[in-house]
A and B are shown apart, each in its own frame.
Chain A
Amino acid sequence: MQGAMAGVQVVSNNGVPGGNVTVRVRGVGSINASSTPLYIVDGVQIVTGNSNSLGNGNGPEGLVSSNLLNAINPDDIESIDVLKDPASASIYGAQAANGVVIITTKKDRAGKSKINFNSYFGVSRVIKKLDVLTATEAVQLGYEANANRFGAGSANVTTFLNGVGATVKNGIVDPLENTDWQDLAFRSGFVQNYDLSVSGGNDKTTFFLSGGYNRLQGHVLASDFQRGSLRINLDHKVNDKLSIGSSLTLSSYSSNGVFDGGSFGNPVRNGFMSFPTNKPYNPDGSFRQAANGQWFGGLDNFLTYTSLNKNFSNVKNLVGGINATYNINKYLRWRSTFNLNYNYTEEKQFSDPRGSGASVNGSVSKASTQIRDFQTNHTLNYARTFGAKHAVSGLLGAEYRYNLQTSFAAFGQGLPLPQFQTLSSTATPLSPNEGFGDFKLLGFFAKAGYTYDDKYIVNLTVRRDGSSRFGEDTKFGLFPSISTAWRISREKFMGKFGENNDMKLRFSYGVTGNQAGIGNYASRALFGLSGEYLGLAGGAPSQLGNAALGWEENETFNYGIDFSILNRRVTAEIDYFSANRRSLLLAFPLPPSSGFSSITRNTGVLQNRGIELGLNTVNFSTKNFRWTTNFNFTYVKNKVVKLNEGQNNIGTGIVVGRQLNSIFTYKFAGVNPADGRTMYYDTLGNITYTPQLRDRYYLDKSSDPLWFGAFTNTLTFKNFELRFQFQYQGGNYIQNSDATFVQRAGSTFDRNQLKSQMLRWQRPGDMTYVPRPWAGAAQPGSSSYTFFSDRFWERGDFLRLKEVTITMYLDKKTLNRLGLTNASFYVSGFNLATWANYSMFDPELQGNDFGTYPQAKQMTMGLNLTF
């Protein structure tokens, strides 16, 4: 779905096997609640997000996949549709404010039974390796850092050189043996995928059965993913009036993951930061550790984590539903659906007593999370055409949803024998934790539509939705919408234009609600048991509550034009939208001396404005050769319009009149050519070496991209098809936290640095942006090299060759000889090339880059057969 639609931004947050993607429909929609769209698979609202319970306080967060969208096997998907403006999305429920992603799976069809087999294999490598210093270079910078600060003959220099086993002649370090730790952290990934489906039936009963298996070995050590899934779609016509259907999906997916972020066990981060004079193993084959007298600085040998620790998750998922449709008469139809979404996630983390768990003699965490989500939906549909030109439709409906989430987690320490890895073996079981949360949604809706001669189209919708999360008097919200369209090409004054061309003007207005991401009991005044003392349980008020808490609203005006010209070889859709996201939930600050820090109120207003362009062209079309292009572009910019009364900002990132996530930081002015100190601009534009808080300024852009899109070409020649897609995004800055560790000019000489640091200042007159190596990273009278300024906010603009696929279809004759209906063979490459000016792995992320698991380049080849 990446790159397929204007206005829909799909970002891979990282390269974790089975990892998360962030989907934003027309930008960020809320400040504190969720901006995630609603997902509907075959009419069932899917519980999305992560079901992780671990990672809060019991050690570093593990990167295992519990992305609930993994439950859907991509091979079962027939089509994905995204409803962007509230008028079209409103019928889909209370949570449509962030857009709706409608996924339709492959349907059963009557007729001859059809068997389809699809399989592919592939390999992957990390998208790039960082260019870091060799052992000799790293020691050179460390030597200079010490010599510059303490003097070339000082004890600090001797201690450093002895520690890394180096010698120096005339200020130059003699060559040293190098360890490439990135080679140890990354490996060849491998993917394999098999799918088999059977569909068929007769005019009474149709079926679709599929089974799939996917296995992925990650391109970072110790990470993998596998999924098995099963789907049954069954439909039966009882008689002319009544038909019933059911669908059932079962899936189970597991992953092993590495530790994330700033953790010592993160092989990605420690792969580029481990000091290259270090050796990974002792002569006896055991892991070398700082405790063995080796020079590891502040880091640990990550191989002990990746090989000894465990970080595992398994998700079992069931989505099932039954539905019945009854045609009351020719024009009136009743439809009822009952769906259950059940999810069980199991997680386990083990910290080996021989490695990271040494200080506590080994530890283990285990958690399970269960989600039960029941939905039922009932509609009465009316559709009738009067005469040849008047088409009328109407709909009345009600829906109900109950979501219950429970979890259990516990943690234990003291497992001296690594063969024992269960909670029951721990000497000290700790922090058992039970979680409970539920919410209910209830909605009533009505829709009326009228079309005259397929020329004038009007649809009216109104919803009344209630959520248990809100206050007594504000549980229900009213959400109306209208959409109109005028097919101008059918007007007489357009003459013959309409015969082979098409043109439509659209306008819509609508309000939808958002309650996702808001706490289940957010409106209540609560008293909870918090903390213990001397083995007794303590209680305290946990929340003041606000009985007037209500829905967040999205009010959108949408103006659009669709046209199709040059004998429909060029089709385009252009939209301008202006959305007011209002009644946003904000923490209203209370004086902390009241005993509370804030209450939540519906006060914020955020504006989203943008344009979307989708263009499809048939550039060339002959009997043997066809070339088509899809281009889409989206520009969306948000602005904070209102916060709490009298409040101009929340922190520095949320400021009235500015983009959300604005960046307020110091301005780096380079390195003083005279002495190699880092310089910054102060508030008057003068150079300062020690900037004060007041010297910060706003960067012109925020961490949210302003524009994004894709460009896809498909070329067909006889039996061959070539498809390639470019993806682009930009107008944002990335907070490069990793850079503060690897751009220190060697000044903390226990961690490796980027190659660019060899451009360090060496003698007066040197023009460079890399400061003078200085042990401790702060020369007298200047700021630390790790001081976070716009030096470490990097532009996120990039262009990427996302996908290239060559497919070969077998011709009719061969197919007949082999007894096949269809057969194709394909080779694909993903993330093959990226054009960006970003110093770390990958600009396709938003916000903070801190030990992010990078994406991979991938090559796959596959086979698709239909019998």
Chain B
Amino acid sequence: MIMKTIVNKIVLSAATIGLLIASCSDKDLAVQPRQSISSETALTSVNSVDAAVIGVYATLKSRVLYGRDFMAYGDVMADNAVATNKSGRLVGEGRNNVNAHYANWGTAYSAINDCNLVLDAIPRISAATATQRDRWEGEMRFIRALLYHDLMRSYAYAPTFIVSASNRGGVVLRSTAVDNKDTAAAFRPARATIQQCYDFIINDLTIASTKLQTSARAGAPHFATRAAAQALLSRVQLYNGNWAAARDAATAALTGGVGTLTTAANHVAGWRASTHPESIFEVRFAIAAESLGVNEALQTTYTSMGAIGAPSTNGGWGDMVPNAVTLNAVGITGFPSALSIANTAALPTLTRTSDVRNQLFEWGGQRTNPRFIECTKFFGKSGFLNVDNVPVIRHAEVLLIRAEAHYRLGNEAAALTDINTLRTNRGLTAVTLTGNDILEEILRQRLAELAMEGHRFHDLKRLGRDITKDPSVGFTLAITDFRVLAPIPNGELIGNPNMQQNPGY
């Protein structure tokens, strides 16, 4: 009898459970992710907007932005650096192969959309103070301008030099966010004109300059400041050909209180310091986990030795090295014309001028044969292997922007003063020049000062000068060649008749 009762109970419970399941409905299938939150509840509090702002800064560390490409490509695609084919990376870019180009489109627009989400959210955050709102708006407009200018540098011509036959305009301008699938699926963007884009960028930087604080936010130069907005504005106006505006913004940036020009005595040390003393805006790589790794970080891209001054030790790849153009500009001679020697051979002694900048170049390591002279500007200076802060804009560049602006405005004396300020702070003597020689000296100083920092390609492009590739590559890339502009990703063109691809792709 007892047995039977137990049995009945078992049957009854099983049946009950079965019936419970049979009565389940949609809501019983509810699960909750723990590593993400629903988009609707995001960006409704001060803390969440703060996190979104940090998220945008974090994107700048991507390889296709300041993690590598915007430092390395501007040189390897120009006339002053070569790819070594040690890991195979940058070889296509070094030969200006079709499609081997900047690929910042997707990442930049993702970050721009994140900027727009914050800008759209600011009015909704009633708990925020006016100071917080200004800071959020200033920082987002600054980063949006930086991203847009870099998009323009990749995919479009600068107003100072446009190849009309190949000009398909600027890039897609967006000042509001895409935040649901229906607006995203219906989005059929078109390219704005080059001038519309520059106006948009200049407007962002002008507003950012008023919203951002003069006294640096704690963490400068790693967060945007008024000086950073003005420094970037001077660069943008230089590309825009508005010399007076470039000059004035440069002066404001140089006196903005963020960073200071290094001297001949401390210039090399500046490149060994975690934060570069000249930086007006710098992307911070703070901890080892932020490294882009042994294949793509700047240290491994530029160098192959394990320690500075120790070419027998092994470190990174050393995929990209300066060629004679850069080495001569910083005052190094005595290297073979092939730029390299076999690992087993004795190291030729390099002859160096008094220019302190040449101390940032030395014989590299022996990771794969042969060895080259490498640039040591990025050598794990944040304290970990392959972790380097990236100076986005620094005093020397702004000084050279102002020199160029003065020259264009006919003020040769002021241009020479700026040039000589830089020269004497780099171990060189002052020069006296006139006319076009001044412009050439400015460009030579840009080459020497900003080598391997991603400027040369854009300088030649905005000036309309052909790119005489290294003899090992063996051709001259006319500045009118379609390969000067990057291809717009295919996803942008599918089903969108409004969009125009750059010519040749």
Contacts and interface: CB of A to CB of B under 8 A. Distances in A.
A520 B22 contact: no
B54 A533 contact: yes
A848 to B, nearest CB: 17
A787 B287 CA distance: 39
B56 A538 contact: yes
B200 interface: no
Contact of B294 (A359, A467, A589): A359
A451 interface: no
A442 B29 contact: yes
B180 A595 contact: no
Nearest to B313: A291
Given A537-B54, A596-B110, A597-B491, A475 B26 contact: yes
Interface string B113-151: 110110000000000000000000000000000000000
B219 A546 contact: no
B51 A529 contact: yes
Interface stretch (A120-128, A432-440, A658-666): A432-440
B57 interface: yes
Nearest to A59: B294
Contacts of B94: none
A759 interface: no
A244 B13 CA distance: 14
Q: Which bucket holds chain A's interface residue count? A: 35 or more
Interface stretch (B182-190, B421-429, B440-448): B182-190
B460 to A, nearest CB: 26
A520 to B, nearest CB: 7
A226 B212 CA distance: 63
A498 interface: no
B24 A442 contact: yes
A787 to B, nearest CB: 13
Interface of A: 57, 155-156, 159, 162-163, 238-239, 241-242, 244, 290-291, 293, 297-298, 324, 326, 334, 336, 358-360, 376, 378, 398-400, 413, 428, 430-431, 435-442, 444, 466-468, 472, 475-476, 520-521, 524-546, 588-599, 645-647, 693, 750
Given A57-B293, A593-B189, A400 B24 contact: yes
Nearest to B316: A359
A435 B344 CA distance: 49
Contacts of B385: 359-360
A591 B188 contact: yes
Q: Which bucket holds chain B's interface residue count? A: 35 or more
A537 B26 contact: no
Contacts of A398: 18, 21-22, 24
Contacts of B105: 592-593
Nearest to A476: B26
B275 to A, nearest CB: 11
B54 A544 contact: no
Contacts of A524: 33, 36, 38
A546 B3 contact: no
A645 B31 CA distance: 32
A298 B28 CA distance: 57
Which 9 A/B pairs are nearest by Cβ-Cβ distance?
A: A595-B113, A531-B58, A538-B55, A527-B42, A378-B18, A538-B54, A539-B51, A526-B36, A525-B39
Given A544-B181, A594-B184, A595-B113, A334 B14 contact: yes
Interface stretch (B235-243, B261-269, B405-413, B492-500): B492-500
Nearest to A57: B293
Given A159-B342, A468-B31, A538-B56, A750 B180 contact: no
Contacts of B55: 529-531, 538-540
B318 interface: no
B14 A533 contact: no
B171 to A, nearest CB: 8
Interface in B234-256: none
B314 interface: yes
B306 A359 contact: yes
A435 B22 CA distance: 32
A589 to B, nearest CB: 4
B17 A336 contact: yes
Contacts of B496: 591
Contacts of B113: 541, 594-596
B21 A590 contact: no
B112 interface: yes
Contacts, number: 259
B52 A590 contact: no
B357 interface: no
A592 B492 contact: yes
B114 A541 contact: yes
A539 B109 contact: no
Nearest to B496: A591
A336 B14 contact: yes
Nearest to A291: B314
B222 interface: yes
B286 A534 contact: yes
B40 interface: yes
Question: Looking at B4, B384, B495, which has the most chain A CB atoms within 10 Å of its CB?
Answer: B495
A545 B11 contact: no
A162 to B, nearest CB: 6
Contacts of A413: 288
Contact of B284 (A324, A336, A533): A533
Contacts of A693: 98
A590 B59 contact: no
Contacts of B106: 592, 597
B174 interface: yes
Given A290-B314, A532-B287, 18 more contacts: A242-B10, A293-B344, A297-B369, A358-B314, A431-B289, A440-B30, A467-B29, A475-B29, A476-B26, A525-B39, A526-B39, A531-B61, A540-B59, A591-B189, A594-B183, A595-B113, A595-B116, A750-B369
Contacts of B7: 238-239, 241-242
Contacts of B26: 466, 472, 475-476
Nearest to A548: B181
Contacts of A534: 54, 57, 219, 222-223, 284, 286
Nearest to B315: A359
A541 B181 contact: no
A533 B105 CA distance: 22
A591 B187 contact: yes
B257 interface: no
B35 interface: yes
Contact of B48 (A430, A437, A539): A539
15 contacts: A163-B342, A163-B344, A241-B7, A298-B368, A360-B385, A435-B35, A442-B21, A468-B30, A520-B33, A524-B33, A538-B54, A541-B39, A590-B187, A590-B491, A592-B492
Interface string B415-443: 00000000000000000000000000000
A538 B143 CA distance: 15
Interface in B191-206: none
A442 B286 CA distance: 47
A435 B314 CA distance: 35
A105 B14 CA distance: 25
A378 B14 contact: yes
A440 B36 CA distance: 18
B109 A594 contact: yes
Contacts of A336: 14, 17-18
Contact of A599 (B39, B50, B184, B294): B184
A439 B345 CA distance: 62
B172 interface: yes
A441 B183 CA distance: 31
B284 to A, nearest CB: 5
A162 B346 CA distance: 14
Nearest to B107: A592
Contact of A520 (B31, B41, B110, B288): B31
A538 B17 CA distance: 45
Given A358-B314, A592-B491, A444 B38 contact: no
A591 B183 CA distance: 11
A535 B495 CA distance: 42
Contacts of A440: 28-31
